Amino acid sequence: MEVRFTRFAAAQLRDVLAESDARHGPTAAERYRDRVETALEAVVADPGPASGGPDAVARDVLFHALRLARRRLPPENRVRRPPHVLVLRISGDGAALKVPGLAHERMLLGPVAKRPLDGADGE
């Protein structure tokens, strides 16, 4: 399954990594990036309920808290408390995992989940 970030989500991820780098250094930013990649790999392997499951916001939306990827990383690569949630959608044909955005655990997830996947916001 191919993973595709919208431009919006890619910009969000760049901002999160830049903030991590500024606050905690380049090694921390690299660990956070590894956490995101590990979480995406887990969802691709099993996009079912363990990944967050569809929410009432939209039936085809999955939420995956980055904290769930902790066990999949070696101890030296772990981020203590990653506060972000990946907002994900599986394409109709099941060939792609689309990432319309990231959300902070304290955010309301609805607005991020409803972001467009195609068109002006693009992929």
Q: Do 44 and 1 form a contact (C-beta atoms < 8 A)?
A: yes
Q: What gap in Å lies between CA 47 and CA 45, rounded to an integer?
A: 7
pTM equals 0.71
User: For residue 61, what are the CA distances in angstroms to 14, 36, 56?
Assistant: 22, 17, 9
pLDDT (tens digit per residue) in 43-70: 888 776 544 544 445 567 788 887 776 6
Q: Which of the 8 DSSP states describes residue 68?
A: G
pLDDT (tens digit per residue) in 96-113: 889 999 887 766 555 555
Nearest one of 111, 95, 98 to 60, comparing CA atoms:
98
Write down all domains in the chain, each with its CATH number in brackets: 2-113 (3.30.2310.20)
